[in-house]
Amino acid sequence: MPEFDTIVIGAGMSGATAARLLSDAGQRVTVLEARDRIGGRMHTDRDAGFSVDLGASWIHGIEDSRLWELVQALGAPSIEFTVGSFQAGGRPIADFDGAARRMSATESAQWVADVDAADHAVKEQISRARPGDTYLDVTERALDALERHRDAMDPERVDEIREFFRHRVEEQCGAWIGDLDAHGLDEDAIDGDEVVFPRGYDELPRRVTAGLDVRLEHVVRRIVRSTEGLRVETDRGVFTAAQAVVTVPLGVLKAGTIAFEPALPAEVADPLARLGMGVFNKIFLQFSERFWDEGVYAIRALGEPGEHWHSWYDVSAISGRPTLLTFAAGPFGQRMQTLTDDAISADAVAALRRLYGESVPQPVAQWITRWGQDPFSLGSYSHLATGSSHGDHDALAGPVDGVLHFAGEATWGAEPATVGGAYASGVRAAERILGRRVDLEAFAAGILLSEA
């Protein structure tokens, strides 16, 4: 008889959720986690006395969000911080044009209108896309049409929009625009306000796993399945179970650092090969004083001044100190990872000085991530690489031979690349193993009860 009913591999949001639901249902469950901490790509650094979320920070849209329901049930404090896909929910943005000149409110509004027009043209091109078309193909066709239209857009503006499209794909997908499928960017995904977590987002997986049998620093190397169940080999011994839920990131699965025996069948192996894993890194710079206007919550540089460092968010509300957050994603994010922290921060400060002048001070503190180099992540989140489809995400969940389940953001087609997707995929894995629906209100109430 196997030691456990279910082994969950990975203690991120998906693994935490599946493990707790199965354990609440009376199963014997263990969680094997490679790192020395819980949370995976939800990772809050609290060393400085405030929270810095190095991985996920946002719930991107709280309307109809099961994750938001969990947050509310657990009473985790949040702050509204709506980034939107582009528009700022009416809050002031400091826009700089191609000459690094501050744009007026009217010019900013015109920019928003121009991007809107371009987005409509892209949508039309997506509806006509052929299999194998990339997002670059559809945006170029759309921009071409805009340039040839009778009220043709100024070519300089078209170039700025081209640059903006590239950045948007980099940030949302962590990928080069030419590697993303034409259907790979979901522009309508955000419903309702967006929120961040002043106490740190990893509070969620930590609270969900509290009291469970979680074995940290157990690196899974091999998973052998048979009709009797599964044998999971780690660097600290072997564990057996009737079922397993594998929640390691897509980057880890693609790298093949966990051996599956027998090999995964084509139903799972093919989508695994087709989907892409992107790189998205964060750079937080903290300053002794604010040099940008009070109330401005985002700074954007269009055209050439924003070729690399193009958008900055004022996240001072979380630490109570003047702090800007910027991103390095896609090919730039990959390159950035090879530089030292000081070189990265100097480059980012130089970009800010081009906008705000030489008086921009040196940062007093900085936090820089390298998710693409992290062996237990090997990237930031999944995306639709050219030729893959949303169905590939869900196909990745298995189960294989009725005993091997996959969960995690990359397995949730309706909302991949998010904490919400990870949570939902953990619920699905538990429901498949239990063969019934679970009650998420009771799940949250159980967590609160165990904390009382």
Reading the block at residue 69, the tokens are 């329901």
134 scored as a contact of ligand FAD (CB under 6 A):
no
61 scored as a contact of ligand FAD (CB under 6 A):
no
CB of 162 to ligand FAD, least distance (A): 25
Percent composition of the chain: helix, strand, coil (DSSP 3-state, to 5): 40, 20, 40
409 scored as a contact of ligand FAD (CB under 6 A):
yes
The stretch among 161-169, 348-356, 387-395, 415-423 that binds ligand FAD (CB under 6 A) is 415-423
Reading the block at residue 152, the tokens are 């043709």
Q: Which is nearer to ligand FAD, 12 or 363 (CB)?
A: 12
248 scored as a contact of ligand FAD (CB under 6 A):
yes
Distances (CA, A) of 93 to 99, 294, 325: 17, 11, 14
Q: Tell me the torsion sign for CA atoms 14, 63, 113, 124.
A: positive
74 scored as a contact of ligand FAD (CB under 6 A):
no
11 scored as a contact of ligand FAD (CB under 6 A):
yes
CB of 315 to ligand FAD, least distance (A): 12
56 scored as a contact of ligand FAD (CB under 6 A):
yes
CB of 350 to ligand FAD, least distance (A): 23
Q: How many residues bind ligand FAD (CB under 6 A)?
A: 41
Q: Which is nearer to ligand FAD, 397 or 403 (CB)?
A: 397
Is the Cβ–Cβ distance between 56 and 205 less than 8 Å?
no
- Given the DSSP bridges, would you call strands 4-9 and 29-32 parallel, antiparallel or unpaired? parallel
Taking Cα atoms as reference points, which of 420, 385, 392 lies closest to residue 406?
Answer: 392
Q: What contacts 243, CB < 8 A, 6 or more positions away?
A: 5, 6, 7, 229, 230, 403, 404, 405, 433
DSSP 291-309: -SPTT--EEEE-SGGGSSS
Q: Which is nearer to ligand FAD, 108 or 326 (CB)?
A: 326
Cross-strand pairs, 328: 281
CB of 39 to ligand FAD, least distance (A): 7
Distances (CA, A) of 125 to 76, 115, 129, 139, 158: 42, 15, 6, 8, 16
Tell me which of 4, 8, 10, 111 binds ligand FAD, using CB under 6 A: 10
Cross-strand pairs, 276: 383
41 scored as a contact of ligand FAD (CB under 6 A):
yes
The stretch among 131-139, 178-186, 306-314, 417-425 that binds ligand FAD (CB under 6 A) is 417-425
Query: How many other CB atoms are there within 10 angstroms of residue 242's CB atom?
Result: 18
The stretch among 87-95, 223-231, 356-364, 368-376 that binds ligand FAD (CB under 6 A) is 368-376
Tell me which of 408, 429, 430, 444 binds ligand FAD, using CB under 6 A: 408
Q: Residue 7 class from Cβ within 10 Å (0-12 exposed, 13-18 middle, 19+ buried)?
A: buried
Q: Which is nearer to ligand FAD, 117 or 269 (CB)?
A: 269
Site for ligand FAD in 348-367 (CB under 6 A): none
65 scored as a contact of ligand FAD (CB under 6 A):
no
14 scored as a contact of ligand FAD (CB under 6 A):
yes
Q: Tell me the torsion sign for CA atoms 169, 71, 440, 434.
A: positive
Helix axes 105-127, 155-173, angle to 10 degrees: 70
Tell me which of 21, 29, 34, 336 binds ligand FAD, using CB under 6 A: 34
Tell me which of 184, 229, 249, 278 binds ligand FAD, using CB under 6 A: 249
Phi, psi of 77 (to 5 degrees): -65, 145
CB of 11 to ligand FAD, least distance (A): 5
Q: Which is nearer to ligand FAD, 208 or 355 (CB)?
A: 208
42 scored as a contact of ligand FAD (CB under 6 A):
yes
369 scored as a contact of ligand FAD (CB under 6 A):
yes
CB of 303 to ligand FAD, least distance (A): 26
Q: Which is nearer to ligand FAD, 216 or 448 (CB)?
A: 216
Site for ligand FAD in 187-226 (CB under 6 A): 219-220
377 scored as a contact of ligand FAD (CB under 6 A):
yes
Reading the block at residue 203, the tokens are 């509070």
35 scored as a contact of ligand FAD (CB under 6 A):
yes
Is the Cβ–Cβ distance between 185 and 119 less than 8 Å?
no
Is the Cβ–Cβ distance between 9 and 220 less than 8 Å?
yes
- Given the DSSP bridges, would you call strands 276-278 and 4-9 parallel, antiparallel or unpaired? unpaired
Distances (CA, A) of 169 to 141, 175, 324, 385, 386: 16, 6, 21, 12, 13
The stretch among 127-135, 137-145, 314-322, 377-385 that binds ligand FAD (CB under 6 A) is 377-385
Which chain residues interact with ligand FAD by CB under 6 A?
A: 9-15, 32-35, 40-42, 55-58, 60, 219-220, 247-249, 252, 258, 280, 282, 369, 371, 376-377, 380-381, 408-409, 417-420, 422
